[in-house]
Every structure is written in C-alpha cells, then in structure tokens.
C-alpha cells in the first residue's frame, strides 16, 4: 500500500479512499457502507433541515413571519 | 498528475453531487412528510390525552362564563360555552382541524404561531389573530407541499364546505364563504378581523386559511374565508359535517 496523495494515484478519489481502508475487501466494503450511512444520517439530520427552508415551499403565511 | 486522474476525479465529483441532489429530493418530497406525519399524529395524541384528563376534572362551573361573549347560534345546554382558553402557548398544539373536503380522515393539529419550526409540526395559528370560536378572525396557515402536504388540495375547497375544529371541549363548525382567493404575500389584510376582500362587512366570528400558490412556489398565496356556523359541546358527539 503506497501512501501517495489521491491525485498521484492512478485513479480518482474514491479508489484512493478504498486503497487506504484497512482489512480485506469485505472489511473495506463494510466500513464503506457504515461511513456512507453515517454521511446520509448527517445529511438528513443536520444539513438538509438547514438547507430546506431556503427553498420556497415554506412561505405559506401572508405576513412572512 | 495525469489527465486520467483529472477526468476520473471530475466524474467522481459529478456522481457525488448527483447523489447529493437525489438524496435532497428524497428528503424534501418524502422524508419531511414521514417526519411531519409522525409529529402531527403525536401532537394529536398528546392533545387527546390532555383533553381526556381535563374532561375528568371538569366542573359545571366551567360553563358559567362564555355567555358574555355571546355564543353563536346552536350552542345549547350547559357546558356548551367554552371557557376562553387563555393565551395559547407558542409552538404548542391547542386544537385539531378537520376538513372533510380534503379527505374523510384528514385531520391536523393546529399550533400557536406561524414560524418555520411550528409549521413543520402542523398548521399554524397567526398569533395576533382571534382565538378559536371567538369574535374576530381565527387565521391559520399550512404547508401546501412538503411536510405532509396538509393543504395539497386547497384549490378544491369551495363555498359551503365545512371546516371543523375542536379544542377538546367544543366542536366549531365553520362554513367556507369565499373559495380560494389568490393574492400576494404582503396582503396582510386578508387576516384582518373583518377581511375586506372576503365580502364580510360586519364583525363576526371568521376563519381564514392561507397557503402558498403556486403549489411549489412562493410568489402568491391562496386564501379561503369561512364564518362560524355552529358549535356543539364534545359530549354531544361529532358535528354533522364529520358524520357519514
């Protein structure tokens, strides 16, 4: 396993990421899955609730409170 | 750093952004509804528990007041005139609304306030407008889309449709007089005690519902107006509009 910056590898950032996960392919897949779920959780719990009011669907009042 | 890496990285970024957008659409169209439905059901459950407890220790003295405010027609017997509930607590549910035209099982909690967080959990009562069933204009806002789509079928409302509310002691049946009226977001006159454009000329017990127009937009608002048609104590059973 070579420790090179992702942009020096042969492939893109995800394969760099994959190469730097520990364990065999199964362990890597499991870790990736857990990380992906964690990202989705953070998005749904914190990022999207922040971003959603910026869309126009919330403006239902006539006095803009 | 080869061209291959550049192209590969760029395509991976595109895939990532695409996935983000799809996830966000799922969140807006689906997940807000799941959360809002759960929240609304919980609000209604809490209200009903509270009312069940309240009813147990209600005394006849409770019905003594309320006469001063002149109950509208059709509130017979003791207990019919509800105690003015006192100021509603901001962000808390205080009533349940039923609109048979929007679905026989359509019922939503009404919370005090019209802030973004409040409207995620149910319909919002404009804090400076009249209280439920009282003289003046009881004005309520709700989402047309997202967060459970409570007012999705708002344009279907028409003259004569019932809007029924209960605060645990009384059923209030409002009848819609003026069908969906399109206006601009700054038209705050529509929630005046006597909204000028509704055709009402005298003081009375009115109800105003507001939502957004177009369905997914923010440029306009849709309004319906209703007047209080009848009230009945909850012990007397559901009002006619909700029976089938």
Residue B132 has pLDDT above 60, yes or no: yes
d(CA B228, CA B162): 10
| Confidence grade of residue B22 (pLDDT, cut at 50, 70, 90) | very high
- Cα–Cα distances (Å) from B49 to B38, B55, B80, B109, B168, in that order, read 16, 10, 21, 14, 10
Residue B174 and residue B162 in contact, taking contact as beta carbons nearer than 8 Å: yes
pLDDT: is A7 or A42 the higher one?
A42
Domains in chain B, start-ordered, CATH in brackets?
3-242 (2.40.260.10)
pLDDT: is A25 or A7 the higher one?
A25
pLDDT of residue B163: 95
pLDDT of residue B60: 45
pLDDT of residue B59: 47
Residue A8 in contact with partner chain B when CB distance is under 8 A: yes
Name which of B28, B113, B211 is nearest A60 (Cβ-Cβ). B211
B68 three-class SS? helix
B176-198 confidence digits (pLDDT tens): 998 899 999 999 999 999 998 88
**For testing the chain A interface, which of B5, B214, B220 should be mutated: the one with the most A CBs within 10 Å?**
B5
A11-65 confidence digits (pLDDT tens): 778 888 888 899 899 999 999 999 999 999 999 999 999 998 888 777 888 876 5
B133-161 confidence digits (pLDDT tens): 999 999 999 999 999 999 999 999 999 99
Known active-site residue B14: no
Short-list B126, B137, B132, B157, CA closest to B200: B137
Distance, in angstroms, between B36 CA and closest chain A CA?
13
d(CA B222, CA B142): 11
């Amino acid at each position: 396993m070579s420790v090179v910056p992702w942009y020096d590898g042969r492939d893109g950032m995800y394969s760099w990421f994959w190469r730097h996960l520990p364990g065999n392919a199964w362990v890597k897949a499991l870790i990736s899955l857990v990380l992906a779920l964690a990202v989705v959780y953070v998005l749904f719990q914190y990022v999207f609730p922040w971003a959603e009011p910026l869309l126009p669907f919330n403006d239902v009042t006539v006095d803009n409170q | 750093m080869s061209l291959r890496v550049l192209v590969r990285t760029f395509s991976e970024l595109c895939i990532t952004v695409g996935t983000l957008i799809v996830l966000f659409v799922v969140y807006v169209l689906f997940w807000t509804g799941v959360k809002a439905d759960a929240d609304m059901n919980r609000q209604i459950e809490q209200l009903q528990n509270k009312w069940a407890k309240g009813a147990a220790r209600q005394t006849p003295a409770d019905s003594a007041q309320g006469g001063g405010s002149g109950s509208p027609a059709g509130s017979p017997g003791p207990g019919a005139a509800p105690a003015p509930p006192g100021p509603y607590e901001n962000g808390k549910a205080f009533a349940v609304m039923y609109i048979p035209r929007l679905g026989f099982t359509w019922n939503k909690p009404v919370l005090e306030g019209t802030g973004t967080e409040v409207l995620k959990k149910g319909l919002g009562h404009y804090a400076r407008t009249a209280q439920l069933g009282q003289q003046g204009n009881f004005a309520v806002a709700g989402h047309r889309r997202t967060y459970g789509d409570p007012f999705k079928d708002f344009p279907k409302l028409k003259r004569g449709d019932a809007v029924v509310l209960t605060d645990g002691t009384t059923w209030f049946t409002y009848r819609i007089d003026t069908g969906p009226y399109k206006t601009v977001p700054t038209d705050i006159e529509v929630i005046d005690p006597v909204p000028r454009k509704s055709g009402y000329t005298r003081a009375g017990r009115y109800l105003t519902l507001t939502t957004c127009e177009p369905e997914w937009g923010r440029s306009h608002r849709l309004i319906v107006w209703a007047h209080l048609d009848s009230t009945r104590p909850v012990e007397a059973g559901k009002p006619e509009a909700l029976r089938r």
